Structure 1
Amino acid sequence: MADRGRQYLLMADEDLMALVESEDSGAFAGLYDRHVRAAYSLAYRMMGDRQAAEDLAQEAFLEVWRAARSYRADRGSVRTWILSIVHNRGIDQLRSSASRRRTQDKVEAVAVTTQPSEAFAETWRNSQRVQVREALKVLPPEQLKVLELAYFSGYTHLEIAELLDLPLGTVKGRMRLGLKKIRGYFEDRGMAVPG
């Protein structure tokens, strides 16, 4: 059995995935050992909490086990695929918790009377958020994806390039064009670009 474990260490990720498809738990353990640190690191950057990051990484690897047949080598490396599962599940969790927070904020806003200056500041922030959301709608999907990963998920240019399997220059170019379009959106409407 120890020989089999050593054999997994020497195998390429794609070969391990083929074995995971046929429910080889040793191959899965090999993939897990190889990629759990990167998955946890990404999960921690997204969630900002150790326990939440551990839970997210575990959920992602369960998905790897269940969805091994959906991996396509022509779309990217196994590592990129695993990290995209972590990212997508993390985004889902963040959206869900943000939705719960918004509901809680609405309930608290009704219950608590705020000072006029606080109410004005909150109204101003909300209107800026709406303006930014409207501006994002004018972007092509490839530029929107890069900006979302950078500004809402906190990825670096290099991490985005790896995650999307794109050259670094392409990521930077899409980001520059997307920001230019957003700036143009605000300037065309005579509005200040929210800071």
Structure 2
Amino acid sequence: MADERRILSLTHERTAAPEACPAHRPAPDPEVTRRLAGLLHRVADGDREAFTQFYRSTHDRVFGLALRVLRRPATAEEITQEVYLYVWNTAEQYDLRLASPIGWLMMLTHRRAVDRVRTESSASIRDLTYGHRQLGRDHDIVAETVGQRSEERAVVACLDTLTDTQRETVALAYYGGRTYSEVAQHLGISLNTVKTRIRDGLKRLQNCLTETMRDA
């Protein structure tokens, strides 16, 4: 608990949100890599001052990547805290021969950010009717059907008939009411691909729900 409070206090030092991590960065400076690796070795020995130095030298990169994946500063902040708590607890596992300190941090951050997206997408499936006003009449038809019937089991069963990509795209669209453009940017795909996935997914979902309700 004390370690968590320390990491939380460090994250609050930021005075301005850094830019989202760009796609390309120059190769790491060997001297910086050696310095950060040395700090990590000290962290592994429980050196709190080394941890503070390591955090202040790298947190913009971690937060920037988390923000790039999640698009929400508050959630990116949570991921940043999780990453540094993991660093504090497992620094002895770091091996410079396998990755640079920054490379290790980026791997940890990306993995946790993607896991958070997947978790939120799964949760959003259970609340599929939320945010439908922003997404057009096709969404309204499905949302109204679900809302009027309140057949949660039927919805879950019908969602299983969607492809993985359809289910992910529909879930992201409904989670927080994201627009087509935001979903496309988040997934790194074209706007037309997003529209096609959502249109086809909703059509399949609507047909499944209609058949389920008729047979009920």
* TM-score, L = length of structure 2: 0.47
Structure (1/2) with the larger helix percentage: 1
Give me the whole-angstrom Cα distance separating, in 2, the residues matched to 1:66 and 1:128.
Answer: 35
Give 1:110's aligned residue. Answer: 146
Corresponding residue number in structure 1 for 2:104? 81
Compared CA separation, residues 45 and 103, structure 1 to 2 (3 A): same
Question: What CA deviation, in whole Å up to 9, does each residue of 1:155-194 have, x standing for no partner?
Answer: xxxxxxxxxxxxxxxxxxxxxxxxxxxxxxxxxxxxxxxx
Name the structure 2 match of 1:40: 63
Q: d(CA) in 1 for partners of 2:163 and 2:113?
A: 27
> Residue 74 of structure 2 aligns to which amino acid in structure 1?
Q
Letter in 2 for 1:129: T
| d(CA) in 2 for partners of 1:57, 1:42 | 9
Q: In the TM superposition, what is the alpha-carbon distance from 1:83 to its structure 2 partner?
A: 1.3
The letter for the 1-side match of 2:105 is I
Cα–Cα, structure 1 residues 112 and 13, in superposed 2: closer, same or farther, change >3 Å?
same
- The answer to whether the Cα contact below 8 Å between 2:69 and 2:186 also exists between their aligned partners in 1 is no
After superposition, the Cα gap between the structure-2 partners of 1:23 and 1:102, relative to the gap in structure 1 and judged at 3 Å, is same
- 1:119 counterpart residue number: none
Secondary structure at the counterpart of residue 105 of structure 1 = coil
The residue correspondences of 1:167-178 to structure 2 (distance < 5 A) are none
Residues in 2 aligned to 1:38 and 1:53: alpha-carbon distance in whole angstroms: 11
Cα distance in structure 1, aligned partners of 2:148 and 2:107: 41
CA RMSD in angstroms, aligned pairs only: 3.3
Is the contact between residue 66 and residue 110 of structure 2 (CA under 8 Å) also seen in structure 1?
Answer: yes
The residue that corresponds to 1:92 in the other structure is 115
Structure 1, unaligned stretches of length 5 or more?
1-8, 114-122, 131-150, 155-195
- 1:19-48 deviation line (CA, Å, top 9, x unaligned): 000010111111101100000100111111
1:68 aligned to which of 91, 97, 110: 91
The TM-score with structure 1 as length reference comes to 0.52
Which residue of structure 1 lines up, in the alignment, with residue 36 of structure 2? 13
Q: Match for 1:57 among 80, 83, 93? A: 80
Count of residue pairs the alignment pairs up:
118
Q: Is the 8 A contact 2:55 2:84 kept in 1?
A: yes
CA shift, 1:58, in A, is: 1.2
Cα deviation, residue 62, structure 1: 0.7
User: What CA distance in whole angstroms lies between the structure 2 residues aligned with 1:64 and 1:127?
Assistant: 36
User: Which residue matches 1:129?
Assistant: 165
Q: Percent identity among equivalent residues? A: 24
Q: What is the deviation of 1:112?
A: 4.4
Unaligned runs of 5+ in 2: 1-31, 131-142, 150-158, 167-184, 189-216
Counterpart secondary structure, 1:75: coil
| Alpha carbons 2:69, 2:113 under 8 Å: kept | yes
